[in-house]
Structure formats: C-alpha cells, structure tokens
Amino acid sequence: MGTGVKPVRLHREAQTELQQSIDYYRQRGGSRLSDRFKQRIKEGFETIAQNPERFRPDAKTPDIHWYRVEQFPFSILYTIRSTSIWVVAIPHGSRRPGYWSDRLK
C-alpha cells in the first residue's frame, strides 16, 4: 500500500520569498541565473515530495525539515502534513534563524 507522492504547497510568504529571490537573480545575473535558481528549487520540491522524511528536522522545531538548495545559499523549510508537504519558508542562509516560526500558527 504506497502512500504516493504528496503535493508541495507554499505558504504565501514563502511564495513571496521565492519570487523576490528569482527577481534578485534575474536583476543581478540575468535570466540564465534566475532560471538555474528556479530549476534547483523545482528539483528540491520534487526530491522532498518523493521522500519528505529524508531531510533533517529543525533542532528547535522538530516538525520542520530542512532541504539545502544545490548551488545556491538557500534552504527549503517544510512540514509534512497528512495530504501535502507545506513549505513554510525559503530562506537565504544569512536570514535570522527562526524568523518564519510565526507562519506555523
């Protein structure tokens, strides 16, 4: 009895973070760089959806898992729900830790 792949859903503030990061890379490095960033994020979502338990939980918030985005200083922070993967934040590595915790409410 396989559970199948759960869809990935984004908190609206995580969507905003993602779009701002895409825009930043497009402005600084052009469409090739922003496209590569989008591809790495997409690969992250696909990898997480296939095996969400694979990535380490947060030390202070064990319901939140961390996926490090390849080639970029970002992570995908998510929680596993019964019917989906809920992306809480897509922070840059220099962001204040835990700034996203109010999104869990």
Q: Any idea where the domains of the chain sit in the sequence?
A: 8-93
Computed on alpha carbons and rounded to an integer, the radius of gyration of the chain in Å comes to 14
The span from the CA of 72 to the CA of 53, in Å, is 22
Output the pLDDT for position 42: 97
Output the pLDDT for position 93: 85
Look up the CATH superfamily of 8-93. Answer: RelE-like (3.30.2310.20)
Output the pLDDT for position 70: 94
Output the pLDDT for position 69: 97
Output the pLDDT for position 83: 92
* Residue in this structure with the two tokens 């759960």, named with its chain if needed: 6
The whole-angstrom distance between residue 53's C-alpha and the CA centroid of its chain comes to 14
Output the pLDDT for position 1: 40
In this prediction, the residues of the chain whose per-residue pLDDT falls under 70 are 1-3
